[in-house]
């Protein structure tokens, strides 16, 4: 039987442990929260299925594509069209091309972001090169598609959606470590 002081300490320590765990739990919770609300223009990082819904031909939405290279990866990401006009509900395919300009094989990843952030809730990516890491041999060029659909319930005041892809290197040993240490953060991105 614990005395009252021990009981207080025991309870405090329980709260303590719970809050420490909560801090780590916030990492996946935040991801979920972002996907639901579209904070930060985070996009679902898994493929979604195409929903066949009637195309809303009464309005056009301009979709822009921007590709950027981060530091440390001598790659180029090209997009065949910088801008397309689509109807909500209409499935669209756009080709992107990765080129490794260096003399050695490298792994990289294109990290997606969408603006305005609330639009990410209405963006359904059926297939995207950004779901996976890419590995390119020296000088290799790979074409990869993005298949997406803007849902019909896209708010009326959104008439431009900008998708940005930033290239980042994936270090070999880092990639392995991520798989081990932080499945919640690094692994699924």
Partner 1 sequence: MAPKLPPHHSLQHSSTTATAGGQVHDDHDHHPQPRGIMRWLLTTNHKEIGSLYLIFSLIMFFIGGIFALVVRAELFQPGLNLINPEFFNQMTTMHGLIMVFAAVMPAFTGLANWMIPLQIGAPDMALPRLNNFSFWLLPVAFTLLLSTLLMPGGGPNFGWTFYAPLSTTYAPPSTTFFILSLHIAGVSSILGAINIVATILNMRAPGMRMMDMPLFVWTWLITAFLLIAVMPVLAGVITMMLMDINFGTSFFDAAGGGDPVLFQHLFWFFGHPEVYIMILPAFGIVSAIIPTFARKRLFGYASMVYATASIAVLSFLVWAHHMFVVGLPLAATLFFMYTTMLIAVPTGVKVFNWITTLFRGSITFEVPMLFALAFVVLFTIGGFSGLMLAIAPADFQYHDTYFVVAHFHYVLVPGAVFSIMAAVYYWLPKWTGHYPSEILGKWHFWLSVIGVNLTFFPMHFSGLAGMPRRIPDYALQFADFNLVSSLGAFLFGFSQLIFVWVIIKCVRGGVKAPAKAWDGAEDLEWSVPSPAPLHTFETPPDFKPVQH
Partner 2 sequence: MRKMLALMTGGGTLFGGASLAHANGWNMPVGVTDLSAEIYTLHMTIFWICVVIGIVVFGVMFYSLFKFRRSKGAKSAHFHENTTVEVIWTAVPLLILVGMAVPATATLQKMYDASDAELDVMITGQQWRWRYEYLGEDVAFNSNMSTPRAQITGEEERGEHYLLEVDEPLVLPINRKVRFLLTADDVIHSWWVPDFAVKQDTIPGFINENWVRINEPGIYRGQCAELCGMDHGFMPIVVHAMEEDEFDQWLVERKEAAEAEAMGVDREWEMDELMERGEQVYGSICASCHQADGGGSPPAFPGLAGNQELIDDVDWHIDVVLNGVSGTAMPAFRSNLNPVELAAVVTYSRNAWGNDTGDAVQPAEIVELLE
Contact positions vs partner 2 (CB under 8 A)? 40-42, 64, 66, 68-74, 82-83, 101-102, 111, 113-117, 157-160, 162, 164, 166, 168-169, 171
Per DSSP, which regions of 29-86 are E strands?
Answer: 61-69, 75-79, 83-86
Tell me: does residue 70 bind partner 1 (CB under 8 A): yes
Distance CA 144, CA 79 (A): 10
Sign of CA dihedral 29, 31, 35, 40: positive
Rounded least distance, CB 54 to partner 2, Å: 24
* Residue the block writes with tokens 């699924």: 188
Is the bond leading into 52 cis (omega within 30 degrees of zero)?
no
102, 117, 127, 162: residue in contact with partner 1 (rule CB under 8 A) = 117
Distance CA 176, CA 138 (A): 22
SS3 of residue 33 by DSSP: helix
* Choice between 92 and 99, CB closer to partner 2: 99
* Residue the block writes with tokens 């639901």: 36
Rounded least distance, CB 181 to partner 2, Å: 17
Tell me: does residue 74 bind partner 1 (CB under 8 A): no
Q: Are 64 and 82 in contact (CB under 8 A)?
A: yes
Of partner 2, partner 1, none, which one sits near residue 38, judging by CB under 5 to 8 A according to partner kind? partner 1
* Choice between 60 and 91, CB closer to partner 2: 60
Rounded least distance, CB 7 to partner 1, Å: 9
Tell me: does residue 182 bind partner 1 (CB under 8 A): yes
Tell me: does residue 164 bind partner 1 (CB under 8 A): no
Partnered with residue 16 across adjacent β-strands are none
- Angle value at C-alpha 119, between 113 and 123, nearest 5 degrees: 80
Which two tokens mark 126?
């059926």
SS3 of residue 171 by DSSP: coil
Tell me: does residue 80 bind partner 1 (CB under 8 A): no
Of partner 2, partner 1, none, which one sits near residue 131, judging by CB under 5 to 8 A according to partner kind? none
Interface with partner 1 (CB under 8 A): 4-5, 8-9, 12-13, 15-17, 19-20, 22-24, 26-27, 30, 34, 37-42, 45, 70, 109, 111, 117-118, 166, 168-171, 173-174, 177-178, 181-182, 185-189
């Amino acid at each position: 039987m614990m005395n009252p002081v021990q009981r207080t300490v025991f309870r405090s320590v329980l709260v303590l442990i719970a809050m420490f765990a909560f801090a780590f739990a916030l990492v996946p919770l935040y991801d979920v929260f972002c996907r639901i609300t579209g904070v930060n223009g985070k996009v679902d990082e898994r493929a979604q299925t195409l929903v066949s819904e009637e195309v809303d031909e009464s309005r056009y939405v301009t979709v822009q594509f921007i590709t950027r290279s981060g530091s440390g990866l001598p790659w180029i990401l090209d997009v065949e069209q910088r801008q397309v006009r689509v109807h909500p509900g209409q499935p669209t395919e756009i080709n992107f091309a990765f080129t490794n300009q260096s003399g050695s094989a490298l792994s990289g990843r294109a990290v997606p972001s969408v603006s305005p952030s609330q639009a990410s809730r209405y963006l359904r990516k059926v297939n995207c090169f950004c779901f996976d890491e890419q590995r390119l041999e020296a000088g290799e060029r790979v074409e990869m598609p993005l298949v997406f659909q803007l849902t019909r319930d896209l708010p009326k005041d959104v008439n431009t959606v900008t998708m940005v892809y930033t290239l980042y290197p994936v270090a070999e040993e880092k990639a392995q470590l991520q798989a081990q240490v932080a499945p919640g953060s690094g692994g699924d991105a």
